[in-house]
Structure 1
Amino acid sequence: MGADAPDEPLTVGDPAPDLTLPDTHGTPVRLADVEGPVMVVFFPFAFSGICTGELCELRDNLEDFEAAGVTLLGVSCDPVFSLRAWAEQQGFDFELLSDFWPHGDAARSFGVFDATRGRAGRGSFLLSDGVVRWSVVTEPGVARDLDGYREALATL
């Protein structure tokens, strides 16, 4: 593939990358240190229309993740400060992590970095015991469906 072509996204059965990213306060969060299953939700940009709609829907249904014992982590290439302002504005009660520098490394490791646009694509990955158990990746401009998340949670 060329330098701008995306890698193939991780699929069910693939090992989950071990990554460490700063949260909205700059505190490093290591994926391997999060206990229990984790839903990693990559999104292109804070403050953008589709991303705001998707993450607000997750915020409004956070109890579904909590009931399943799943930690929800949102990840974008936005800087920490932008993510913190957006999280405060929207009242997100889950962690947002910055993949700003090295730019897009986490998104690349999951196969969802859009090098042409310099952003993460829309990809969600349910991880358990260090393995991808479910994933969905949508085309640019296409929101993910909440029912898909619920179906994934039901498999645990």
Structure 2
Amino acid sequence: MQVEVGTKAPDFELRNQHGESVSLSGFRGEKNVVLLFYPFAFTGVCTGELCALRDELPHFVNEDVQLLAVSNDSPFSLRVFAEQEGFDYPLLSDFWPHGRVSREYGVFDEEKGCAVRGTFILDKEGVVRWTVINGLPDARDLNEYVQALKSL
């Protein structure tokens, strides 16, 4: 079941592309979080979306906001992906137990074995304030994220 607007986002701790542990609760009280789930590194739509975020990074990583991008890839794959594309924000690995966090947020596709395109905007207290879920082939609109962040 998908996490609903108005509810507390499930906490998690995952490794980023550098093998460092990142927990959602580490941002509580300090930053709003854009939590973005995407299917796989190195795929066309995902790469396009993450590059668009990179190109508009000041909107998504600043003193008030932290972007966390989560996929079911291994941290090793994510490191190469981040280096190749110049991503300076955390790419988190929900690789093992496979898809645990994606399942908690209701965005794991059991048949395909990966997360669908789910975005959750969380306020500084960790409450979900906005969300959008798109199918695997459908890119998301970054302008919607910017508007949702402005409303916090």
**TM score, norm. by length of structure 1:** 0.92
SS at match of 2:111: coil
CA contact (8 A) 1:47 1:86 kept: yes
Query: Per-residue CA shift, 1:37-67, capped at 9, x if unaligned?
Result: 1111000000000000000000000111245
> Structure 2 regions of 5+ residues with no counterpart?
none
Match of 1:121 in 2: 116
The equivalences for 1:47-62 within 5 A come to 47-62=42-57
Q: Which amino acid aligns with 2:17?
A: T
When normalised by structure 2's length, the TM-score is: 0.94
Aligned pair count? 149
Residue 132 (structure 1) aligns with: 128
Q: Which residue of 2 aligns with 1:82?
A: 77
1:25 and 1:80 in contact (8 A); partners too? yes
Is the contact made by 1:68 and 1:153 (CA closer than 8 Å) also made in structure 2?
no
4+ runs deviating over 3 angstroms: none
How much is the aligned-residue C-alpha RMSD, in angstroms? 1.1
Alpha-carbon separation, structure 2, partners of 1:93 and 1:132: 24
1:6-155 alignment runs, 5 A limit: 8-34=1-27, 35-66=30-61, 69-128=64-123, 129-155=125-151
Query: 2-side partners of 1:56 and 1:11: how far apart?
Result: 27
In 2, Cα distance between equivalents of 1:68 and 1:120: 28
Counterpart-to-counterpart distance in 1, 2:63 and 2:25: 19
* Alpha-carbon distance in structure 2 between the residues aligned to 1:130 and 1:153: 14
Identity %: 53
| Structure 1 residues without counterparts, runs of 5 or longer | 1-7
Question: C-alpha separation between the residues in 2 aligned to 1:28 and 1:94?
Answer: 14
